[in-house]
Homo-oligomer: A and B are copies of this chain.
Amino acid sequence: MSTVPVGALLGAAPAHIAAVGVPDFADVPRTAGADVTALDWRPPASGEPDLAWKLAELTAHARVEAANAEAVSRLLAVRPVWRDVVTAREALPVLDDRASGRRVLLHAGPPLGWDRMCGPMRAGVVGAALLEGWADTPEAAGRLADSGAIDFEPCHHHDTVGPMGGVVSPSMPLLVVEDPATGRRAYSNLNEGAGRCLRYGALGDDVLDRLRWMGGILAPALRSALRARPDGVDLRAVTAQALQMGDECHSRNTAASMLLLHELAASLARTENGPEVIGFLAGNHYWFLNFSMAAAKLSTSAAAGVPHSTLVTAFARNGVEVGIRVSGLGDAWFTAPATRIRGMYFAGYGPDDANPDIGDSAIAETYGLGGFSLAAAPAITGFVGGTVEEAVRISRDMARITLTRHEAYRLPLLGGIGAPVGIDLRAVLDTGIVPVITTGISHREPGIGQIGAGLTHAPLECFHKALQAFPVPATSVAATGVPAVDVSA
């Protein structure tokens, strides 16, 4: 086959070509000298005809639109306030081991049993068993888990979120975030800081000693300091300010952690172990992460269970599988294998050492933070050798798959426009754009801990499965032009 110059085909006028589809479509005429604009377009629903038809039926569907408007307004109406610090067994009936006599642990992501858990999550279980005194050695803790004597439940099933392994045991302190208007609550564990942490699957006396100190010293000091703040601490205000200070409140929490400490520093200084506690908090740049996650959980779960709503209320990863939940599909998980992370590694480690994507922290992205607010934190793109421009592009892309923008969370690099919030299942499948997540990287073997950080995404397969399960509401209502806003049925 001989190559005919594009100019010759089209005559003397310069050729301006818009190419849609696979990159080759643009490359061929470009090589031939044409001026080609490659459109970033993929066929809806990855080109699967049945799904694409279903997507078309749900698009601009009056009942879906009304349901999404309701779900989004519920999400945005939540005002997350830090109210308290309590032990997990006080907060969550499922962990009330003294009443039930059961040994239960929570973990990150969709449900899975001990037999399928990845290395860092198993390390979290072993560490928690040692902390609770259920075993005396890591080996004994492993045998206990092998024997089936520990039950496992996802954090997400109990209004709780935990970063990385996300293992929560009865004696661990939880932070309590509350929506004052409704009294609804969500929980997260307390952040251990950087370095060797149980959430990354590190094990050792240093890790356990810190967890005991957090339960025995840190938690009571925080409780005491919070008593001086009967209205609690407004986490929306802290988040909004931190977005002006280089944080995206998932993988960068430097400003938010300082702002949160500032709210309580004077009160903490009055407590018995004030200097020690202030010293720990001043050195923990990730301190706010778990608050960001609990605030996100509280807000997105307010949007859950709205019939016909295509809003994504959760994205969570257990290190083996990742899964999403969709408002109109209730508590069901739609899962896919956990993805690899494009990241930077600590010296001596590389991609072969990395566990696949893990942790509940991607709840931040369902709330408009993390990857969705990446333009607020261009420093994070350094994780993957990226630039300011890439951070801005990702935040702009995320706005193509969300239902609205957050009125309080504004992105300074985008002229103060709100963070894109409320992932729409339909928009993800229509555009083929997947949610971008900023995340840490655990070593795949138990006992080692964090080895890097980077960017990952929610795989399209989760969204395909959710669309397959999504019922198309009767269209008669839309035909009348008067949408029924009965979302309670």
Taking beta carbons and an 8 Å cutoff, which residues of A are in contact with B? Answer: 244-246, 254-255, 258-259, 261-263, 265-270, 274-276, 278-279, 282, 378-379, 387-388, 412-413, 415
Contacts and interface: CB of A to CB of B under 8 A. Distances in A.
23 contacts: A244-B246, A244-B379, A245-B245, A245-B246, A245-B255, A246-B246, A246-B255, A255-B258, A261-B262, A265-B265, A265-B269, A265-B278, A266-B275, A266-B278, A269-B269, A269-B274, A269-B278, A274-B274, A274-B275, A278-B278, A378-B412, A387-B415, A388-B413
A413 B266 CA distance: 34
A117 B379 CA distance: 46
A397 to B, nearest CB: 19
Contacts of A269: 265, 268-269, 274-275, 278
A200 to B, nearest CB: 24
Instruction: Quickly give the copy total for this chain.
Output: 2
A478 to B, nearest CB: 41
10 nearest interchain CB pairs? Answer: A266-B279, A269-B269, A269-B275, A258-B258, A262-B282, A245-B245, A245-B246, A269-B274, A270-B275, A266-B278
Contacts of A412: 246, 378-379, 388
Contacts of A268: 269
A279 B244 CA distance: 23
A88 B83 CA distance: 45
Nearest to A376: B246
Which one of A263, A265, A276, A279 has the highest number of Cβ atoms from chain B below 10 Å of its Cβ? A265
A388 B270 CA distance: 42
Contacts of A388: 412-413, 415
A111 to B, nearest CB: 39
Contacts of A282: 262-263, 265-266
Nearest to A279: B266
Contacts of A413: 378, 388, 413
A386 to B, nearest CB: 11
Contacts of A245: 245-246, 254-255
A271 to B, nearest CB: 9
Contacts of A261: 262, 265
A427 to B, nearest CB: 27
A26 B415 CA distance: 30
A246 B274 CA distance: 29
Given A388-B413, A415-B388, A267 B262 contact: no
A321 to B, nearest CB: 36
A268 B388 CA distance: 38
Given A387-B415, A388-B412, 19 more contacts: A245-B245, A246-B246, A246-B255, A258-B259, A258-B262, A262-B282, A263-B282, A265-B269, A265-B279, A265-B282, A266-B278, A268-B269, A269-B275, A269-B278, A274-B274, A278-B278, A378-B413, A379-B412, A388-B413
